[in-house]
Amino acid sequence: KAFFKELYLNTPTPMAQFQEVMRQQLESSMHAELEKLLGTAKGAKAEVSKKDFEGFRKLFHRFLQVKGPSVEWSKINRPPEDSIQPYDKIKAKGLPDNIADSLNKLVVVKLNGGLGTSMGCKGPKSLISVRNENTFLDLTVKQIEHLNKTYNADVPLVLMNSFNTDEDTKKILQKYTHHRVKIHTFNQSRYPRINKESLLPVAKDMAMTGENADVWYPPGHGDIYASFFNSGLLEQLIAEGKEYIFVSNIDNLGATVDLYILNHLVSQPNGKRCEFIMEVTDKTRADVKGGTLIQYDGKLRLLEIAQVPKAHVDEFKSVSKFKIFNTNNLWISLSAIKRLQEQNAMDMEIIVNPKTLDGDLNVIQLETAVGAAIKCFDNALGINVPRSRFLPVKTTSDLLLVMSNLYSLEAGSLTMSERREFPTTPHVKLGSSFTKVQEYLTRFESIPDMLELDHLTVSGDVTFGKHVSLKGTVIIIANHGDRIDIPAGSMLENKIVSGNLRILDH
């Protein structure tokens, strides 16, 4: 009996055997298709594509192996108290006299793969003007140049471009030739979109124009580790004495170099050096979908909403249970990235992102998130930073905030005005008439005074004259076919302005 029981338990079921055969067939078909595609690549691009496809094969292999959700809800625990440090505790250590020594070990990396299409702009998002004619990239260069001049340091800027942004970004970099900051670039991988039905690439050759224009994608910012390593730039920076990178999204205007966090990193004893810091901040109701830190299998781990079983989504969104979220401001050891890449030990959960191409073709793209690698690094830490370090500009509603008198601009950095009496940022919701940057700009003769604003909702065909002041809660709704022009010099405090231009107390 014991013998047959053992045999039964260790023999795969017919269904498991069938699934394994199917997996092997899919992997073999994918391999053959990728080889065909590589056969159409020419010159130096062929070698780059070969490295990209090696990464894609690994990702596709893991995608086929995944069974069920990547986390078991019952195994999720709150992180231990000391694994998420309050920023004030880090700041209390103060700064050493030789802060330039620490800065000379740092590289600033900006994720620059995104286009401005969601805001109606062509080309890289980093080239959109956000404040006083300065683009995201202008502000970044000014910040680092100010650091280098102030402390007589040599902090380089590295841009991770995608095939969508590389050419336009490189053209614009010439304008920074005489700035005191060295700028390097490297490219994210280029992966093929997969037909959802056949699980094979949609692309017929390596071209990126014509019918092949939308069959490729950059595979999420988790690709930074492999593409940085493959570019040779990681090795070069280590040889120059660099030890840490500070990684952030280029559209997060709060993500400036923080000297206290940097000092905390470099002042640790060698044996206990922290290899990865994730900046987190307190959740508000606007951030309920943001990834959070959990303790899982004895390690700090990033939990994204896509990994949460449907039955627990409301619990995940709860501000009382999961109080913090990931800002995607990360401080990472260069030597640790090198070690993990060489050992093939970088393990990030796969994000399956469904898309529909022209002609109603359903595809999927396999992606990873840079913060998901936190579990692979030694002595990883979360730091609960002030909300001011998270100031992303994803929409024109965000753009209105950063263009307003809520913020002052100095040396490329935005800081909340001292004249605002409460630390929270107003909640702004602009309707579809404001979605595209060009149209949004035509609707404001000047940006309103928002120092005392709590909440603004605007819907429909609305324009603002010069020197308008908004306070408290202001709701402006133009009905379909109506237009509302807020006159120059108006002061609206706790008002609802409706389609027939009646102004009511809120």
Which residues does the annotation place in the binding site? 125, 188, 220-221, 251, 394
Q: Answer whether 116's CB lies under 8 Å from 127's CB.
A: yes
Report the run of H or E that residue 27 belongs to, with start and end: helix 14-38
Strands 381-384 and 276-282: parallel
Residue 459 to residue 432: CA distance in whole angstroms? 7
Torsion angle, alpha carbons of 214, 216, 222, 226, to 10: -160
Catalytic residue flag (residue 436):
no
The CA angle 139-140-146, to the nearest 5 degrees, is 85
Please state, as a whole number, how many other Cβ atoms lie within 10 Å of the Cβ of residue 505.
Answer: 7
Residue 339 to residue 196: CA distance in whole angstroms? 35
Residue 146 to residue 410: CA distance in whole angstroms? 10
Looking up tokens 């979908």 gives 289
Q: Answer whether 411's CB lies under 8 Å from 143's CB.
A: yes
The CA angle 83-324-452, to the nearest 5 degrees, is 135
Q: Residue 216 corresponds to which tokens in the numbers above?
A: 């490729």
Residue 495 to residue 469: CA distance in whole angstroms? 12
Binding-site residues for substrate, in ranges, read 221
Residue 114's nearest CA partner among 158, 171, 156, 169 is: 169
Q: Answer whether 488's CB lies under 8 Å from 465's CB.
A: yes
Strands 381-384 and 129-131: unpaired
DSSP bridge pairs for 295? 77, 300
Q: SS3 letters for 118-145? A: HHCCCCEHHHCEEECCEEHHHHHHHHHH
Q: Which of 105, 196, 299, 394 is catalytic?
A: 394
Binding-site residues for UTP, in ranges, read 125, 188, 220, 251, 394
Sequence-separated (6 or more) residues with CB below 8 Å from residue 65: 23
Q: Residue 406 corresponds to which tokens in the numbers above?
A: 């809520």
- One-letter amino acid at 83 equals S
- Tell me which residues are annotated as active site: 394
